Structure 1
Amino acid sequence: MEVIFLRVALDTPLDTSFDYRWTLTQQDGVAAPVPKVGQLVLVPFGRQEIVGLILDVLETTTVPENKLRDAIAVRHDVTPLSPDWIALCQFAADYYQRPLGEVALPSLPKNLKVSKTVSLVRALKKLAQLPALADATPIAEPVLNSEQQGAVDTIVGRDGYAAHLLFGVTGSGKTEVYLQAAARILAQSVDAQILILVPEINLTPQFEAHIRARFPGLLLSTLHSGMAEGERLLHWIAAHTGRSRIVLGTRLAMLASLPRLRLIIVDEEHDPSYKQQEGLRYSARDLAVWRARQLQIPVVLGSATPSLESWHGAQSGRYRLLELHERAVQKAVLPVIRIINLEQEKPSEGLTPRLIAAIRRRLDKKEQSLLFLNRRGYAPVLACDACGWISDCNRCSAHLVLHKGDHRLRCHHCGLEQRIPRSCPTCGNIDLQPLGRGTQRMEESLAAIFPDARVFRIDADSTRLKGSAAAAFERVHDGDVDILIGTQMVAKGHDFKHLTLVAALNPDAALFSQDYRASERLFAQLMQVAGRAGRAAQKEDGNASEVLVQTRYPDHPLYHALMAHNYRSFAADLLDERQQACMPPFMYQALLRAEARELQTALDFLQQAAACMPHPAMTINDPIPMTMTRVANRDRAQLLIESASRPALQAFVKIWIAELRSWKSRVKWSLEIDPVDI
């Protein structure tokens, strides 16, 4: 019997692959299949049996015979993962400084990696019976305006790689550009696949509805973390085998196996949700651009408020800028944005008299209002006026948030929950007061002010159950809601036809954040939530939709740019500031984080890391505590590394990380390339 050797990548923190022995056998005179690169294989590792990815099939190995172990089983029932897919994972591993196995294996469905094949066999049987999209007749494609048509023609008009930044005001019909560009590419090839990324799970139902109505007869796969594992496996296999012509998903779909991918679309490309914040801290948007270049296909990044990195890419010529200046629906106009000065107009229950009057006018006209408050819970903190006690989390550098309906105090960082105390734990005062307002408290206030209105709240607390977010948004779309109060979940992507008033209630905190990206994110949030208003045609009474922003800083340049709907001016000013301050996108960064039981232990580790290697081309800043220093009884600190050269930073970090991994330390540490939260 012939023996060969399999080089296998495993999901381990080790920077190497492992060689295993495989004996070729015969059964009834027929040779068993030879393992192939890209197949999954079950192997022993320590005392466990785990699934790995075959990277190479070898005739010889340098591993001593007494250290070789036999592979257990090869998954011949799954088509091998393609060399292009492995190359994508290898690039991500190299760029984000992680082992290949830690990139490739976690991106696969869990049920594909279990030692038993029952779930896989069941999924393959279901796949054979999986129908195409149910609707038999496609809806007619809307007629595009000249700017939309020009964008579609540009996207599909040339062969090879091209990165397009589709910059259009909210409601300008970017989705229609995506769909018609996809339709033309699908028509050009009978097996082409399209990948569409959205930033959040709750945006997938709306996109699914558009796709199902437009492309009957084509199979759609959806991939996101909210799916049951069996369902995710089924959709992944449909994409991997090429059965699914369109794949829709959140950032994890970026690493899906798509053997015939011909177009990538990243909607709301500015959204921070595209950056993974645990484990492999990758940017799905950036990987989309690399994958498009790898495959020599077009990629479209769409946004009304592009990230400064993408906007700079368009200004420098790396990306092709496609602009949509007008709203797609005839007679639909951008809302009028007005500022309410809280120093002059005092609020009651968080609402100024002018805002209350504006909501009443919309109620009288049977129109919807949206109040945007990016703080869930009832109140940010519970306090005692007598002694000054406040509801702090004893495990984190944070307050316990009051959730009145659940009768709980809850930490939004570590998950700690406590009952609401009957009296002050310090002095016994029974008159404890909530300070500040969250969405739950605002919902209560709105119901009291407008008792006849249908007030509805959408946030992470109200949409915990599977399917609840889709059902909640359906209520708004159906007109069963008069006043909607919500967090950033309601701010993007949704097309509310009856919504004519938007109010931002508490946006000022971001103006003074130490995070240099805070103003960019606030502007994007406010522009996005403002864009929910007035998306349908303006009514004959000429009463334009409006956006009201309650602020104590009405003269801030951000609000002036917002009132003018002037992203260009705002982005130009921010880019000038970033360039003068030597910040991204004009500087490249890596962030080393450390956590330990004591803060000084983490700081000492980072200080030693900063001093362990010469770094003439690097700027290594002093270690500092993180803004949220303590989480779940662990103190956290960070060390920022900067360079004007991306290759120089990568070269330094590669050697530096190898040195840090050789240390024996109880400090838990991680490295992030291109950090978004500093």
Structure 2
Amino acid sequence: MTPATPATDGWVEVALLAPLPALTYAVPAELAAAAVAGRRVRVPLGRRTVLGVVLGPQAQAPIGCRIRPLTQLLDNGPVLPPELLAFLRRAAAYYACPLGLALKTALPQALSGLQPPPTQEENHYRCLVTDPPLRGRLQQELVAFIAERGTVSLTALRGRFAQPHAALRRLEQLGVLVCERQSRPHDPFACQPCQPEAAPALTAAQQQALKAVTAALRAGGFAPFLLHGVTGSGKTEVYLQAIAEVLRQGRQALVLVPEIALTPQLVGRFRARLEAKGARIGVLHSALAGSERYAVWQGAAAGTLDIVIGARSALFVPLARPGILVVDEEQDDSYKQAEGFRYHARDLALLRAQMAAVPVLLGSATPALTSYQRARSGAWHYLELAERVNARPLPTMEIVDLSAVPRAEGPLSPPLCTALAETLQRGEQSLLLLNRRGFAPFLLCQDCGHCPRCPNCDISLTWHRAEGRLRCHYCDYRIVPADCCPVCGGATFEPAGVGTEQLEALLRERFPAARIARMDRDSTRAKGAQQLLVEQMSRRQVDILVGTQMVAKGHDFAAVTLVGIIDADAALNIPDFRAAERSFALLAQVAGRAGRAELPGRVLVQTRCSDHPVLGCALTQDYAAFCAQELPQRQLLGYPPYGYLVNLVLSALDRVLVERHAAALAAALRLPAGVELLGPAPCPLFRLRNRYRLQILLKATERPPLRRLLAQVQQEVAQLPARVRLAIDVDPCDML
């Protein structure tokens, strides 16, 4: 017998913030307002109470099941405006992702739990008695500190005194102090004054690009632009003046950058130019505290912020009056989310701009081949800045053939050492790129050749000498290396290969008087560390900066005249059809850090593949030549931009189990005409985090048949056992 559904004021569809389908819930009379889409609600799920977002009312309840009622409304109004909710629905459908998981990714942390969002208030203490008779030294110091300042926040007191809480409570009990809650306006730049900056004269190419974007802004409607400008050509200046036009129209701008490391310098440019004219700027990225992210979310939704600048997740900020979306370094793979909701922020920026009927401006010195092809085919507007501002020359690039250099020289070839010494002597700055963290990629037993490997992943452990540990960069497994080899008992382990940590140490030995710094994920873990390094470089307090790809894009250091690429071959040999594209982009981008001001730049590229065609194009900074050699190969193989891909990655703790179900899935799929299936085959990184991984690659020359096949895949997912996971990656960027 079917259980009866209780009388209600209707039903609503609710997306739970989890990888589950949306569910139907009844609306009690006292919660009638819950029928409004975008509201957060508490709902029962089994024996638990979980968070959900209302998607909208339903005309009737599903037949044959008992519908449980909503438990509680959590907010006074919707946290997701209708246009943002509609955008997320389309985005989740395109990437074959459960809507609840997409919503969890989009919402700030403060809104993704069952607790109410944080308020912009904080406890403050003030003195009632300015000269009380106190015995304890801490009490006396606290009263003196507070009396001198009038009113002091609890945060400031915790920063000044180690353990003030007990003494503060006692002083409050004695009537010496009173605690009150006061509003705390969010101002991320309160301690960062900036000097207003006048707009420079534009080059003819910049004027032409700005004219096209401005015309689109005034005409209204969706208009996609690709701004293809060589490094140092002034793309940011076009962004700034286009956004100034948006602000004159009373609308908002959203600016995306691929790396958090790029944010401080870009924000500084925007503040110097636009803040002085009254623009209110918010910054959003994962390094901020939850309350700071929520404050930006609120400010953008309320329209009190005019510009939001942030990394990938800033794409989901609600905008009260959207005017333009800007995607800087649009080619960067950091815009692709690697897990969960596997979206690409650049592609979704195009969708969001289309739905909001506003222009979107994508900028790059080395556009993604897919973007370049769309622009050159006329699907997008193509804007080109072929020369640097003030007719500054591009840096000269030279190949250093490591096959002719003795191994004893280490990672620094004689030509590079000489160039570093000359640059130091002139008082200029150098930048060295090595895209490997740690001291060495692995340790090697000198007796038997054993290499310590991660027990959870099929990779060697990276040696971090400063930390004194071997680490896995995928699962973060860490271990202190053994005193002797577990295989042969040998007592000699030697580092093999070079990482940024070792390169920094070698430079300190060779150039003891030089001021050397390192920018990688390890050296910039602390909050504000990246910004501090950028400021030190800008103030010329660093002579040589060593880093991974974090140093390659977006930075503008006037005194950098030498760039050294330690190992140009590493990216070329990755088993991925985009290896050549990524290598060219990385080489061109890091080379562009040299000679950006009055002083000319020089780039030394160390390689053992001096005749590689990608290096030939990079040496001449010839993007068109690179496209001419790479695009025909893509077309021949049916890879983007001449085809579309979906990668299905199955994983399980049991190797036999995942192999059996991967084969069964591949056999069960009925391929539409024009779709090719490759695999199943082991992923290049076959085991990660203790899970065995196989992939099935789906290729098609058109989207529609691939979308139809994807619908089949989603039906087959229900047949997989719980122990086997399937990740659907639409338009994959990483095939590892």
Q: Could you say whether these structures have the same fold, taking a TM-score greater than 0.5 normalized by the shorter chain as the test?
A: yes
* In structure 2, C-alpha distance between the alignment counterparts of 1:324 and 1:455, rounded to whole Å: 34
* In structure 1, C-alpha distance between the alignment counterparts of 2:258 and 2:194, rounded to whole Å: 29
* In structure 2, C-alpha distance between the alignment counterparts of 1:168 and 1:127, rounded to whole Å: 45
Q: Once the 2 structures are TM-superposed, how far is the Cα of residue 416 of structure 1 from its aligned partner?
A: 1.0
Does 1:154 pair with 2:212? yes
- Could you tell me which residue of structure 2 aligns to residue 29 of structure 1? none
* Alignment equivalent of 2:536, drawn from 446, 467, 475: 475
Q: Secondary structure at the match of 1:235?
A: helix
- Could you tell me which residue of structure 2 aligns to residue 595 of structure 1? 651
Q: Once the 2 structures are TM-superposed, how far is the Cα of residue 225 of structure 1 from its aligned partner?
A: 1.5
Cα distance 1:14–1:117, how it changes in 2: closer, same or farther (>3 A)?
Answer: closer
Q: Once the 2 structures are TM-superposed, how far is the Cα of residue 414 of structure 1 from its aligned partner?
A: 1.4
Does 1:5 pair with 2:5? no
Q: Once the 2 structures are TM-superposed, how far is the Cα of residue 613 of structure 1 from its aligned partner?
A: 3.0
* Matched letter for residue 10 of structure 2: I
TM-score, with structure 1 as normaliser: 0.94
Tell me the alpha carbon deviations over residues 199-245 of structure 1, each in whole angstroms, 9 at most, x when there is no partner.
01111111211122222222222221121111111111111222211
* In structure 1, C-alpha distance between the alignment counterparts of 2:182 and 2:101, rounded to whole Å: 29
* In structure 2, C-alpha distance between the alignment counterparts of 1:319 and 1:89, rounded to whole Å: 23
- Could you tell me which residue of structure 2 aligns to residue 196 of structure 1? 255
* In structure 1, C-alpha distance between the alignment counterparts of 2:490 and 2:629, rounded to whole Å: 51
* Alignment equivalent of 1:560, drawn from 610, 616, 624: 616
Q: How does 1:391-540 map to 2 (within 5 A)?
A: 391-538=452-599
Cα distance 1:606–1:495, how it changes in 2: closer, same or farther (>3 A)?
Answer: same
* In structure 2, C-alpha distance between the alignment counterparts of 1:138 and 1:5, rounded to whole Å: 55
Does 1:218 pair with 2:279? yes
Does 1:81 pair with 2:80? yes
Name the % identity: 40
Q: Once the 2 structures are TM-superposed, how far is the Cα of residue 51 of structure 1 from its aligned partner?
A: 2.4
- Could you tell me which residue of structure 2 aligns to residue 609 of structure 1? 665
Bigger shift: 563-572 or 389-398? 389-398
* Matched letter for residue 49 of structure 2: E
Q: Once the 2 structures are TM-superposed, how far is the Cα of residue 139 of structure 1 from its aligned partner?
A: 2.5
* In structure 1, C-alpha distance between the alignment counterparts of 2:301 and 2:464, rounded to whole Å: 43
- Could you tell me which residue of structure 2 aligns to residue 141 of structure 1? 199
Q: Secondary structure at the match of 2:403?
A: coil
* Matched letter for residue 402 of structure 2: L
Cα distance 1:351–1:82, how it changes in 2: closer, same or farther (>3 A)?
Answer: same
* Alignment equivalent of 2:446, drawn from 385, 397, 412: 385
Q: Once the 2 structures are TM-superposed, how far is the Cα of residue 331 of structure 1 from its aligned partner?
A: 5.5
* In structure 2, C-alpha distance between the alignment counterparts of 1:483 and 1:132, rounded to whole Å: 30
Bigger shift: 104-113 or 409-418? 104-113
**Residues 131 and 219 in structure 1, CA contact (< 8 A), matched pair in contact too:** no
* In structure 2, C-alpha distance between the alignment counterparts of 1:421 and 1:605, rounded to whole Å: 39
Q: Once the 2 structures are TM-superposed, how far is the Cα of residue 560 of structure 1 from its aligned partner?
A: 1.0
Q: How does 1:58-77 map to 2 (within 5 A)?
A: 58=58, 60-62=60-62, 67-77=66-76
Cα distance 1:262–1:17, how it changes in 2: closer, same or farther (>3 A)?
Answer: farther
Bigger shift: 309-318 or 590-599? 590-599
Bigger shift: 524-533 or 10-19? 10-19
**Residues 5 and 61 in structure 1, CA contact (< 8 A), matched pair in contact too:** yes
Q: Which has the larger radius of gyration?
A: 2
In structure 2, list runs of 5 or more residues that go unmatched: 1-6, 123-180
- Could you tell me which residue of structure 1 aligns to residue 155 of structure 2? none
Does 1:166 pair with 2:263? no
Q: Secondary structure at the match of 2:20?
A: coil
Q: Once the 2 structures are TM-superposed, how far is the Cα of residue 120 of structure 1 from its aligned partner?
A: 4.7
Q: Once the 2 structures are TM-superposed, how far is the Cα of residue 132 of structure 1 from its aligned partner?
A: 10
* In structure 1, C-alpha distance between the alignment counterparts of 2:609 and 2:243, rounded to whole Å: 44
Q: Secondary structure at the match of 2:670?
A: coil
Does 1:677 pair with 2:676? no
**Residues 120 and 183 in structure 2, CA contact (< 8 A), matched pair in contact too:** no
Q: Secondary structure at the match of 2:118?
A: helix
Q: Secondary structure at the match of 1:600?
A: helix
Cα distance 1:533–1:219, how it changes in 2: closer, same or farther (>3 A)?
Answer: same
Give the aligned CA root-mean-square deviation in angstroms.
2.1
- Could you tell me which residue of structure 1 aligns to residue 697 of structure 2? 640
Q: Once the 2 structures are TM-superposed, how far is the Cα of residue 74 of structure 1 from its aligned partner?
A: 2.2
* Alignment equivalent of 1:571, drawn from 627, 631, 638: 627
Q: How does 1:35-184 map to 2 (within 5 A)?
A: 35-58=35-58, 60-62=60-62, 67-117=66-116, 119-120=118-119, 122=121, 129-130=185-186, 138-158=196-216, 159=219, 160-184=221-245
* Alignment equivalent of 1:342, drawn from 391, 395, 402: 402
Cα distance 1:14–1:34, how it changes in 2: closer, same or farther (>3 A)?
Answer: closer
Does 1:307 pair with 2:330? no
- Could you tell me which residue of structure 2 aligns to residue 626 of structure 1? 683
Q: Secondary structure at the match of 1:14?
A: coil
Tell me the alpha carbon deviations over residues 63-101 of structure 1, each in whole angstroms, 9 at most, x when there is no partner.
56x722221222443455222211111111111111222
